[in-house]
A and B are shown apart, each in its own frame.
Chain A
Amino acid sequence: MTSAPPSTPAQPRSLPAFSPMWPLLATMLGGVWMGWSWFLLNSIAVGGERRFRAFPIIAMGLGVSSIVAVVVFSLLESRSLDLGYVRYILIALSGWKLGISYVLFNTQTREHELFEYYGGATRSGLYAILAAPVLRGWVLGSLIPVGWWTLVLS
């Protein structure tokens, strides 16, 4: 039995961990494609027993958003939806995505607090946030062709 405390650090993790505030800001400034994928990677980086909890939440968020986007696109194509109403539907869709982002944020906050409290290294996501508006235009405007999925990923 040893009495001297070993000075080994906590087990190393390969992915860098961030405060969940950064993916939340990334969702607002860069879009869902950036924020939610960041939440996903961050939950793995922070680790813990509930690290996969973000997966079903994101799946639900993407599922509902996709259904709304496909319906809006089909109605617009068949000219059965007045353009004036689209704006209100898009506001509701943004509210849904924001709600999912807050749920993800709340889910990860406690895990991250414990991770950080016991010496887990947390990085700053400031540079990614500064680049987010530019990346948003590039990814959603140039990299991915425009379609119903743009509404989901924006």
Chain B
Amino acid sequence: MNDRHHQQLVTRARQRIAHGDLHHACELLQECLAGDPDHAEAHALLALCLLDLRLLGPAQAEAEAALLCDPQEALAHSAMGSVCLGDRRFTRASEHYERALQLDPSDSYHHLRVAHLAAVLDQPRQHLLERALQLDPDDPDVLAALAEERLDHRDLEAAHTFALRALEADPESHDALLAMARVLLHRDDVPGAREHVVMALRQHANSEEGLRLLVAIKARQNPFLGLWFRWSLWMDAASNGRSVALLVGGFLAFQLLSALAEDLGYPSVADVLHYAWLGIVAYSWIAPGVFARMLAHELRGVELDERY
């Protein structure tokens, strides 16, 4: 009877997690652990909730407890992998994710975690996501992750197809709504993108990703930030090597043209080029600063007066 009650608590906690209600999920998991302190799955889920609440130290304690309770629990290894990823111990994270995959190769969640690590390390992840999709063709999280992956490669058609499939699988999926919003933003459909972000924020009002995207949409509509935002979107899609080559190439082109103009007896052209370059540099410094302030303002949310 007790075991059944504990499992019901874990099931309810999973439902709360799916709806983004992490605080309530933590309470349910703590209630479960108060009755059964050796419940590995509850410890692992609590670790994942705490990670989402950005409590890295407590999350590590819970992931360690989960592994101590049951070293063969795949979710415990996934939780510890995520803790290591948060602490930027990438090799350990990879080891734990691989162990989780060995223990439960049929769960697409573990494949998604490995793909997430690959994304952080700028490594290819398409094959990992496709494997996850084979296991769970209707999982909105997997489909949304594939949409994001395709978007990184500027394959807008495929990204749109995956985002649409994710929304068909679950029209209220937070990740699917955000993936579709990003796709629409890349397609210059700003009202459509805004609509999807607002729907995502209705699900998770404090979603940082959602708020970040909402600010990005505002920036896109702002005449001062619009140009920088388009440039930034384009640069984000480029690989690190290509973006460095572009930035240095731009610098060299302006400097060389300016020097050549001076040497050929056109000092006024050299001056124009010089000031144009300074303007670009100043704009590229100021615009991200303004965007960061807008984002910080949005993330701060509503703060009540201490005397309230």
Q: Which A residues are within 8 Å of any B CB, using their own CB? A: 1-10, 21, 25, 28, 47-50, 84, 87-88, 91-92, 94-95, 98-99, 102-103, 106, 110-111, 114-115, 117-119
Contact of A102 among B37, B50, B87, B248 (CB under 8 A): B248
- In whole angstroms, what is the CA distance A28 to B91 when docked? 34
Main secondary structure of the interface of B (DSSP, over half): helix
When the two chains form their complex, are residues A88 and B34 in contact, meaning their CB atoms are under 8 A apart? Answer: no
Verify B259–A98 contact, CB threshold 8 A.
no
6 A-B pairs besides A2-B65, A3-B46, A106-B240 with CB distance below 8 A are A1-B33, A5-B46, A10-B57, A49-B91, A91-B256, A114-B88
Most A C-beta atoms less than 10 A away, residue of B38, B57, B58, B61 = B57
Complex alpha-carbon distance, A99 and B242, angstroms: 11
Chain B: interface residue count, which band?
A: 35 or more
Residues in chain B within 8 A of chain A (CB atoms): 26, 29-30, 33-34, 37-38, 42-43, 46, 50, 54-59, 61-62, 65, 68-69, 85-92, 120, 122, 240, 243-245, 247-248, 251-252, 255-256, 259, 263, 281, 285, 288
Complex Cα distance, B285 from A89, in Å, reads: 27
B residues less than 8 Å from A114 (CB atoms): 85-86, 88, 120
A–B Cβ pairs within 8 angstroms, 30 of them:
A1-B65, A1-B68, A2-B61, A2-B65, A3-B33, A3-B37, A3-B46, A5-B26, A5-B55, A6-B57, A6-B61, A10-B56, A28-B281, A47-B88, A49-B90, A84-B263, A87-B259, A91-B256, A91-B259, A92-B252, A94-B251, A94-B255, A95-B248, A95-B251, A95-B252, A99-B244, A102-B244, A106-B244, A110-B120, A118-B87
